[in-house]
Structure 1
């Protein structure tokens, strides 16, 4: 789930409204009022209602984002925190191009420490870390460093100052530190502790003019609460006073008729999936407004819709959102809750209905675990699934029905057929990515196989498949035998959780930064006004921006248009297109800031991007996929330009190439095959790439190979490369994306390729995976390749 205001744009109005009311409340408050008094009044009047109706049931991270924004804003207005320190925490302007002198910190972390050390309150922090590396290493590698005492005198720093240090050293622990050190301390525990939704209490606050709006979550049916509560109050389908309309396929007329009847007679109306009828929503808004007056007092409307994937695709009318009580029911979190919930779909009668009882019960439990794993794995982001999928309990129950039918019809268990139907049709019907399909298939191959009936199958480390039990016995077995929640239960390495928490931290801080009111972003302590900061940045970028490549001169200098030379020319053309747009847009914005041009919406959007440290959209369209912040992205751009300039001096292939430095890395890999095909007169369509990982670094190569190319700049996620053994092996803890040695890539005839003992490893351009797929490299492994499939092992060109 992304930022609150992006994934749930239906909350946009409520957030903005809250921000405005909060701002006015602070302006009205007397300067002499205590912080506690302000917090209390805000809690009682504004904040509670906002959370009660708008954020009820949201994922903890989004509630935390909102309360963090509230807390920081109160502290800023009370002048209890330094705007420059808050700016560092939210923006993290790490120094680019630095090398960490200590092995337990990455270059990015050290860049943050160097940036912090330039501030008065953090002077000599970098020296202290170097001088007391042992103590700092112990602190950094502790499980919950936010609860540990900081080394030396840094333990005496303020909560925000300690948070800034933690932001550099352990970004994955920032949300927990924000939660306990700020939100709970300043606002109270009720803003960090989740509360279960009492539907009956919420229903009391609805009315004929106040619909209840359910935001749908994958795998959850919140409308069951409506039916359950309606049954208590005498509203059922049998009594014909509960109307349920699923929108789509011309159901708008049916919905309007149901609303009219219900308003007159005092019935309830459920309108499901209103996001599917975008053109009708304005009519629905008007109809609900008309029926809010003069209708029967028992008339109620319940709406449901999926959240828009981004703010641009938000279609729910603001009038509906303003007047509704907005609720979302979360899916259960963690394997334990998911496995219990999966098993809850069945009963003791289910377990007893099949003649092959032992086989049926074993496979049913394995399917429940499979469902729990694939549903919850999405929390690990792209390393879990390249794309998120709406797996539901319907997929599980239908799979169990198929299992029952097969076992009743045959005395043998058709493992292959079951795996195919479940993995390719029931669950596979949702899956659109080939690598995700491989993952789903691998899970089933591990969970559903003949060994399961012999008591030799473990669903996860330390969790063997249970024997023949009754229904309550299975629930008890889950409570007693399932290990504590960890990535191991999914086949992932513990680093996957660190990566997931780090991304969660980045999203939280980015959202809080974007929610900051303008005046708190523009104080002198944070580096001057927004215009001054942007002006300084664009002047620096214009000064460093490389000149465009002279294509006519390059073509004149080129002796032979080899496949490699063509790639170099294409890269120069793309670089020219990008730098030309950067020079144009930066120059235009500079004139606008000076008052010599009228500021347009495009210029304002670009100004905001530069201020927030993100790559402007007009540059992204001409650029390469990247998840880097603006500073890192620009430093990388300068490096790419220098590499291209060195290559095009004489167009001879460099000794090693940074594959991640290409706009189109596929072009280089194709050029390797084209060059070899021409030399050996082999058919291009019957060739494949051979990937040999060397034991050397880029400095050890003085010249390019006779055939193929040496490439560097690859990173592995989910595992690491054992240089001595020459195979994939387990990752080291907290080493998320270790660098690969130089890789020798050459082309060979397709029929000469030996795939035994190899893991087909996908190569992606960024950690977003999915659409950034480049190629498949076959890497040697002593383990079963399925281990690396479940671990989500991939090569990356950019981290």
Structure 2
């Protein structure tokens, strides 16, 4: 109570200790801030994006880093955003989050002598994406994969030599299961003289005994959902080809695919808020998105009336819902399915109808162009 009495009345009780700590640790900064000006600071304190609206009369007196300390004391819920803003302004960046993983773009930047190590989370598997990339860039016959485990070492070495000699692609999956064998792989890699079209893709979960030499010699990337709905949507649209979006030039189909991309992003983003979002981490992956795409594709294949119950049932019971083992999580999924996939949402004649579940700043694509779809993600 004594601490509270020494602070301006507009400061909430729950933030009084943090503000008092700031006052004791940095008295000169505290004095510069003029917290006694209640009108000035109430406006800042109640702003939903306070880190972007620091009082202009104080901005020149308080450094960017000191502004972070103010956010930490008054609005810790905005601290992460404030730190990202600080990094952007200090380093001259547009944003601090990396671009969503795009295997095609990554492939263009790689060399035949450098393995590509994809670090995956439990249950994730990029091999289908790699297969599709190989089909697009080379041919399906040029892509080979070996799921590592007991008894697969000799086959892996044999395939490695053949693919290097022929200039094919090879994916060795789940190397975390055979960490004791990795020095053998390193030795073989040092003796290879591959063709320039050869690529070695490796997948592994994080493992404390993973050989450091292989880590150092590989191009390392993480295979996980991008942070935020926007980047998730962009990754989905980058994974689809223009032909996939514009097939049959059906605008309803383009709307349904946008809803699918948004639904997929929402399901993945809720995993950041356990146990409020989901009760546990569910491995919703690109394979689920791919299955959802196939359902939408068949749904609009010559059908006059769209049976949304068909979509709800498959996504709930066989695909996304097949990963869920909690009744309350399943209810959330059911609610999402009813909101995202229904005739009132996917309506070309009324894209901003009152029942739309998309934020006001988001509009459904008004054509079947993938560029229009991408613009709706920004």
TM-score by length of 2: 0.71
Query: Equivalent of 1:348, from 236, 239, 246?
Result: 246
CA contact (8 A) 2:119 2:204 kept: yes
1:398 is aligned to: 291
CA contact (8 A) 1:149 1:155 kept: no
Distance 1:336 1:112 in 2: 33
2:215 is aligned to: 321
CA offset digits 1:16-59 (Å, max 9, x no partner): xxxxxxxxxxxxxxxxxxxxxxxxxxxxxxxxxxxxxxxxxxxx
2:158 is aligned to: 257
Task: State the 1:110 CA deviation.
Answer: 1.5
1:305 is aligned to: 204
CA contact (8 A) 1:213 1:324 kept: yes
Structure with the larger RCO, 1 or 2 (CA within 8 Å, 6+ apart): 2
1:270 corresponds to 2:171: yes
Q: 1:292 to 1:190 in 2, by over 3 A?
A: farther
1:132 is aligned to: 37
1:167 is aligned to: 72
CA contact (8 A) 1:423 1:441 kept: yes
1:246 corresponds to 2:147: yes
CA offset digits 1:54-75 (Å, max 9, x no partner): xxxxxxxxxxxxxxxxxxxxxx
Q: Which runs of 5 or more structure 2 residues have no equivalent in the other structure? A: none
1:427 is aligned to: 320
CA contact (8 A) 2:258 2:373 kept: no
CA contact (8 A) 1:211 1:300 kept: yes
Distance 2:324 2:9 in 1: 40
1:476 is aligned to: 372
Q: 1:144 to 1:181 in 2, by over 3 A?
A: same
Q: Which runs of 5 or more structure 1 residues have no equivalent in the other structure? A: 1-94, 485-799
Task: State the 1:291 CA deviation.
Answer: 1.1
Task: State the 1:212 CA deviation.
Answer: 2.0
1:291 corresponds to 2:198: no
CA contact (8 A) 1:212 1:325 kept: yes
Number of equivalenced pairs: 363
Distance 2:40 2:187 in 1: 68
CA RMSD of the aligned region, Å? 4.7
Q: 1:125 to 1:441 in 2, by over 3 A?
A: farther
Distance 1:182 1:401 in 2: 41
Distance 2:373 2:160 in 1: 48
CA offset digits 1:86-105 (Å, max 9, x no partner): xxxxxxxxx99969976764
Higher-Rg structure is 1
Distance 1:244 1:260 in 2: 13
Distance 2:87 2:236 in 1: 37
Q: 1:184 to 1:113 in 2, by over 3 A?
A: same
1:636 is aligned to: none
Q: In structure 2, the residue corresponding to 1:326 is in which secondary structure?
A: strand
1:203 corresponds to 2:101: no
1:36 is aligned to: none
1:459 is aligned to: 357
Q: In structure 2, the residue corresponding to 1:459 is in which secondary structure?
A: coil
CA contact (8 A) 1:98 1:110 kept: yes
Q: 1:386 to 1:256 in 2, by over 3 A?
A: same
Distance 1:181 1:453 in 2: 40
Distance 1:300 1:410 in 2: 42
Task: State the 1:245 CA deviation.
Answer: 1.9
Distance 1:303 1:316 in 2: 13
1:448 is aligned to: 341
CA contact (8 A) 1:116 1:122 kept: no
